[in-house]
Amino acid sequence: MSELLDKEQAAQMDREIYELALQQPEGLDADLLKEALPKYPLEVAVNGVNRLLQLGRLEVMQVGSRILYRGVQASELERMSGLTGDERLVYKHIENSGNEGIWVRTLKQKTNLLQGVITRCLKGLEQKTMIKSVKSVKHPTRKLYMMIDVSPSSDITGGPWYTDQEMDTDFIEQLASQCFKFIYVHSYPRGMPNAVFSANHVAYPKSSVILRHIVDNGITNVVLSVGH
């Protein structure tokens, strides 16, 4: 095929590149592009990649030293269509932060945008209900931003031990008391208050057994794990 494509041929090539990228959720690189679409010289296909990047239908990812291109789904394109370039940049960094969220200072470092621009972008994205701000129990003075439909990690919320950013000491004490009573009953022989089972006693309760006791007896309706 000639390196010069007419408008219709270029549009067809762009569609094929885009469809190929959508089939590669981990990203499309130049080698795969050349292998999957051999009828297009790589230098010509690169022009198509650049057009798709400009349209927002592809986005660049870097994994180690590799440059990859990810296909942007139609639903995501529609959601991003009303955003300015700065808002898109801020949005993508917030999206990439997952359930850990991202601090304004970190956004500034990653985007190289002025503080006033970042503040305006955050306000606009919040008004469009695309992002939300949350507080971290580890850093109470910081606002973290994340996607509107993402639940913050337990590192941010404090997990079951915190209520409204405050440590729930009453709950912790009550739960500790119930755990202690259960362990005590299974650690000391009945009627022998001064004795204790030997170290190789098989009935000492494991954490999984204690959790099952808490759940089975409805001691709390808070969802707990063995880790907790």
Q: Pull the structure tokens for residue 120.
A: 């305006």
Question: Would you say 87 and 124 are in contact if contact means Cβ atoms under 8 Å apart?
Answer: yes
Beta-strand pair 143-147/131-135: antiparallel
Measure Cα distances from 223 to 68, 101, 155, 218 in Å. Answer: 40, 23, 16, 11
Backbone angles phi, psi at 23, to 5 degrees: -80, -5
Q: Using CA atoms, how far apart are residues 186 and 202, in angstroms rounded to an integer?
A: 10
pLDDT of residue 131: 94
- Closest residue by Cα to residue 83 from 70, 99, 67, 94: 94
| Of residues 135, 140, 137, 139, the one with CA closest to residue 162 | 137
pLDDT score recorded for residue 1: 45
Name 156's Cβ contacts closer than 8 Å, sequence gap at least 6.
99, 100, 101, 134, 135, 136, 137, 138, 144
pLDDT of residue 167: 81
Residue type, 213: H
CB 123 within 8 A of CB 143: no
Burial of 143 (0-12, 13-18, 19+ CB in 10 A): middle
Q: Which of 140, 141, 80, 134 is nearest to 102 (CA)?
A: 134
CA distance 175 to 219: 8
Q: Per-10-residue mean pLDDT for the chain, 228 residues long?
A: 74 94 91 92 91 88 86 84 88 91 94 94 94 88 92 83 81 90 84 74 85 89 85
Pair type for strands 166-167 and 162-163? antiparallel
